[in-house]
């Protein structure tokens, strides 16, 4: 049994876009008691691909059987499976509809053994805060190194991957399979917090600002403040803004931990 309980919440704002293409959900697995999966996806152009991310994540997670104590690599493979299966379905749908659809992916698994494992594809971000400090933030660095190694690209060419349809790291890219950057940590404890964020949110804040907001307030209070501040800083030109906040807190005296 973990020495903490989980407080979590999601929030979204449409920004100045005509529709909300981001999707986010917290999921439990039918065969994985005590495990939680948080998923955020930013649909590019429309919401079809991000909807598919959540649909596939539910299906794959419901089939996941962790056993007594799933290893970090086994959980990482779960996240890769969600990405690869979603990517295949999105490409098949594009052939049938003759309309391409792309999406980013952030997945975070928390285990009943105090482990956290996450995977990232694209522009969405995951942050890990501890005692009010940002200790981990996902980004492009690992994907750039992957391009340099696998495609033998020079560093400057790899850094320009956002400008190239061939190199763009998203689910649904017909020219290139998505690369999943994996991270993990163990020994989770009260005061650990996680933030999943679309680029309509994280683009407007420093790591320290996000750490302070998430660490000092409840998920609902933090999300309201961040959405309002993002709206101010974007000066009415911001895109879809979505986030999921997971806080590990000490149970009240006499209350059971989960």
Q: How far apart, in whole angstroms, are the C-alpha atoms of residue 88 and residue 70? A: 26
Fill in the DSSP letter of residue 46: S
Q: What is the pLDDT at residue 125?
A: 98
4-13, 78-87, 162-171, 244-253: least confidently modelled range = 162-171
Q: Hey, CA dihedral for 73, 78, 81, 83, is it positive or negative?
A: negative
Q: Look at residue 121 and give its three-state secondary structure.
A: strand
Q: How confident is the model at residue 84 (pLDDT cuts 50, 70, 90)?
A: very high
The answer on pLDDT for 80 being more than 80 is: yes
Q: What percent of the chain has pLDDT over 70?
A: 98
What is the overall mean pLDDT for the chain? 94
Cβ contacts of residue 202 below 8 Å, gap of 6+? 125, 127, 210
- What is the value of pTM for the model shown? 0.94
- Inform me whether the pLDDT recorded for 254 exceeds 70: no
Q: pLDDT tier at 229 (50, 70, 90 boundaries)?
A: very high
Domains annotated on the chain, with CATH: 5-249 (3.60.40.10)
Quick one: average pLDDT of 151-165?
A: 87
Q: Is the pLDDT of residue 217 over 70?
A: yes
- Lowest-confidence pick of 52-61, 117-126, 143-152: 143-152
List own/partner pairs for 135-144 with CB under 8 A and 24 or more apart: 136/183, 136/185, 137/207, 138/106, 138/181, 138/183, 142/181, 143/169, 143/179, 143/181
* pLDDT on residue 45: 87
Q: What is the pLDDT of residue 256?
A: 59
**What sign does the CA torsion over 234, 137, 41, 108 have?**
negative
187: left (phi over 0), alpha (psi -120 to 50) or beta: left
């Amino acid at each position: 049994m973990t020495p903490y309980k989980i407080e979590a919440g999601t929030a979204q704002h449409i920004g100045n876009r005509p529709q909300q293409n981001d999707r986010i959900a917290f999921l439990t697995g039918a065969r994985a008691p005590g495990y939680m999966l948080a998923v955020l996806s930013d649909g590019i152009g429309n919401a079809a691909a991000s909807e598919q991310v959540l649909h596939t994540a539910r299906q794959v997670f419901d089939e996941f059987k962790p056993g007594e104590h799933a290893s970090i690599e086994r959980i990482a493979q779960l996240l890769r499976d969600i990405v690869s299966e979603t990517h295949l379905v999105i490409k098949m749908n594009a052939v049938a509809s003759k309309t391409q659809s792309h999406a980013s992916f952030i997945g975070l698994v928390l285990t009943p053994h105090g482990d956290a494992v996450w995977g990232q594809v694209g522009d969405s971000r995951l942050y890990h805060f501890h005692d009010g400090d940002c200790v981990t933030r996902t980004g492009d660095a690992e994907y750039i190194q992957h391009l340099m190694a696998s495609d033998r690209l020079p560093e400057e060419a790899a850094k320009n991957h956002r400008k190239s349809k061939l190199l763009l790291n998203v689910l649904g890219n017909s020219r290139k399979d998505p690369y999943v950057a994996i991270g993990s940590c163990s020994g989770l404890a009260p005061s650990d917090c996680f933030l999943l964020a679309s680029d309509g949110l994280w683009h407007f804040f420093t790591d320290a600002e996000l750490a302070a907001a998430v660490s000092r307030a409840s998920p609902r209070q933090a999300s309201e403040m961040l959405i309002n501040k993002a709206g101010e800083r974007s000066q009415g030109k911001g895109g879809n803004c979505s986030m999921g906040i997971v806080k590990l807190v000490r149970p009240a005296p006499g209350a059971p931990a989960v």
